[in-house]
């Protein structure tokens, strides 16, 4: 079973991916078996080609080279992580709800894995969807230490094709140097605290979009100079699982000549929203169902960096169709992400209706000087008291962004529901990462049903490193 699963997973890394019919065959063969095989994930160094140069990056691979993991709801997550790096590491299972000691956050859930050592994980998978895994140690995520984590479930109809598209931002400059330069320069003026009096006579500061100037944007480790081409069956539906594993970059996903239906965000189903262009913030996932037209054709799926023309993507190829080169710049810049789509999303399985037992006011804050980011004005350190919560409570987090940058806020170990944006209540998406745009107020609710000590932070990696991090604790 392990070797078969591994063989299927290797499709992610292949330059030409075959139709994923075999995933469904695998799914039906596995029903009722619940094998307890341990999957080995090796954290290791690897080389990729970026802009014609070899780049030494990190990765999470099974022994046969497959990136990440595809499994099924109802099984146990039985994994051994082998650290083959010469530095400590720890992998977080983004979006899952494991026992807190297995959550993969150094200093919170437990110690990192020493070089040459291993760590074991074993917990039940109670829900499915599109998730991912990434290092939560230091700045390793910038070295592409991330991989897909797909949990198939009853929503995955047998025989349907699917493709995973993982987006990343890439720099040849080491992450520590990027971070040092950000701290030295300080945040651009526009990303500092929005003072109420600032607009009074002075120019109104505009939101700040991209802190870091990246060398490339990748889709499944490749740029548009040499994109992944995915062979698809003409006239058949395909599920696109889009994962934004970037450290700092948000995109608009553009389906080009295709149109699709957004059916899930962060693994959880929403009432389908039809469209051709969908925003995706850092750490979020989009599941989009697309019908491939009949007849041979190539369909680029592009992710355009917010506020810019730079883009990356993959190409779906139906039948014998020529593939033309796609430029690395779009003809028009993509706009800044807004909450327009978030406001339209409706969970198919919302939280049970209930009054919150506890409300936390969470201001997203930044310092006037230097690249310092905080929560309620407090820069994270280990002595910052956790947000108190008690088991069994319905907890409401009122997120107010007092800065001029958007922050994708992620709560570990729980799925929350978006219940209000800027004063308007609605039964929004159930998810694990929500974007809070400058000046906006986003309210989320969750049930405290997974006791532990959990991270709650901005998923922009350098904001997190600079202190926009807090914890929730109930043990």
Sites of contact with Cu ion (CB under 5 A): 407, 458, 460, 463, 468
Which residues are 254's β-sheet partners? Answer: 277, 302
By beta-carbon proximity to Cu ion, the closer residue of 314 and 387 is 387
By beta-carbon proximity to Cu ion, the closer residue of 5 and 92 is 92
Rounded CA-CA distance 67/24 in Å is 19
By beta-carbon proximity to Cu ion, the closer residue of 152 and 463 is 463
Residue 68's nearest CA partner among 6, 160, 4 is: 6
Q: How far is the CB of 154 from Cu ion (least distance, A)?
A: 35
Which residues are 395's β-sheet partners? Answer: 358, 446
Q: How far is the CB of 100 from Cu ion (least distance, A)?
A: 23
Rounded CA-CA distance 300/323 in Å is 9
By beta-carbon proximity to Cu ion, the closer residue of 135 and 433 is 433
By beta-carbon proximity to Cu ion, the closer residue of 262 and 466 is 466
DSSP assignment string, 177-215 = HHHHHHHHH-S-GGGS---GGGGSSSPPPPPP--SS--S
Buried/exposed 435-447: b ≥16 CB within 10 Å, e otherwise? bbbbebebbbbbb
By beta-carbon proximity to Cu ion, the closer residue of 278 and 469 is 469
Q: How far apart are the first and last CA of the chain?
A: 37
Rounded CA-CA distance 5/408 in Å is 33
Q: How far is the CB of 185 from Cu ion (least distance, A)?
A: 17
By beta-carbon proximity to Cu ion, the closer residue of 452 and 467 is 467
Q: How far is the CB of 452 from Cu ion (least distance, A)?
A: 24
Joined tokens for residue 178: 């990027």
Q: How far is the CB of 364 from Cu ion (least distance, A)?
A: 7
Q: How far is the CB of 467 from Cu ion (least distance, A)?
A: 10
By beta-carbon proximity to Cu ion, the closer residue of 145 and 468 is 468
Residue 389's nearest CA partner among 460, 470, 469 is: 470
Q: How far is the CB of 407 from Cu ion (least distance, A)?
A: 3
Q: How far is the CB of 188 from Cu ion (least distance, A)?
A: 14
- Burial of residue 319 (number of CB atoms within 10 Å: 0-12, 13-18, 19+): middle
Joined tokens for residue 98: 């494991």
């Amino acid at each position: 079973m392990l070797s078969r699963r591994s063989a299927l997973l290797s499709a992610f890394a292949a330059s030409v991916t075959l139709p994923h019919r075999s995933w469904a065959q695998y799914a039906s063969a596995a029903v009722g078996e619940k094998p307890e095989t341990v999957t080995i994930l090796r954290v290791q160094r690897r080389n990729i080609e970026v802009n014609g140069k070899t780049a030494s990056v990190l990765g999470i691979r099974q022994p046969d080279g497959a990136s990440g993991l595809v499994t099924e709801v109802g099984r146990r997550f039985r994994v051994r992580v082998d650290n083959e790096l010469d530095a400590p590491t720890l992998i977080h299972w983004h979006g899952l709800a494991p026992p807190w000691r297995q959550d993969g956050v150094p200093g919170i859930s437990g110690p990192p894995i020493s070089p040459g050592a291993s760590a074991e994980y074993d917990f039940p998978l109670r829900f499915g969807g599109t998730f991912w895994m990434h290092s939560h140690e230091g700045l390793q995520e910038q070295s592409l230490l991330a991989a897909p984590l797909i949990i198939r479930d009853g929503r995955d109809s047998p025989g349907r094709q699917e493709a995973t598209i993982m987006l990343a931002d890439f720099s040849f400059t080491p992450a520590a140097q990027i971070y040092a330069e950000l701290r030295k320069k300080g945040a651009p003026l526009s990303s500092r605290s929005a003072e109420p009096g600032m607009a009074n006579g002075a120019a109104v500061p505009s939101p700040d979009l991209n802190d870091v100037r990246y060398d490339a944007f990748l889709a499944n480790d490749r740029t548009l100079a040499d994109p992944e081409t995915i062979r698809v069956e003409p006239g058949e539906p395909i599920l696109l699982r889009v994962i934004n594993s970037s450290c700092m970059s948000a995109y608009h996903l553009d389906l080009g000549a295709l149109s699709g239906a957004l059916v899930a965000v962060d693994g959880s189903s929403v009432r389908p929203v039809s469209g051709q262009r969908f925003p995706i913030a850092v750490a979020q996932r989009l599941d989009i169902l697309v019908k491939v037209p009949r007849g041979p054709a190539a369909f680029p799926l592009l992710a355009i960096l917010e506020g810019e023309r730079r883009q990356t993507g993959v190409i779906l190829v139906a039948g014998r169709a020529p593939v033309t080169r796609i430029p690395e710049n779009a003809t028009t810049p993509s706009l800044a992400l807004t909450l327009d789509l978030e406001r339209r999303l409706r969970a198919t399985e919302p939280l049970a209706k209930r009054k919150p037992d506890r409300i936390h006011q969470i201001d997203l804050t930044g310092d006037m000087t230097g690249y310092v980011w905080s929560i309620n004005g407090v820069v994270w350190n280990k002595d910052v008291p956790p947000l108190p919560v008690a088991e069994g409570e319905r907890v409401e987090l009122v997120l107010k962004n007092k800065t001029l940058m958007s922050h994708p806020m992620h709560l570990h170990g729980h799925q929350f529901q978006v219940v209000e944006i800027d004063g308007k209540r609605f039964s929004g998406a159930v998810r694990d990462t929500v974007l809070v745009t400058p000046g906006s107020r986003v309210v989320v609710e969750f049930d405290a049903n997974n006791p532990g000590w959990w991270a709650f932070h901005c998923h922009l990696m350098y904001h997190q490193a600079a202190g926009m991090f807090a914890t929730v604790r109930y043990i």
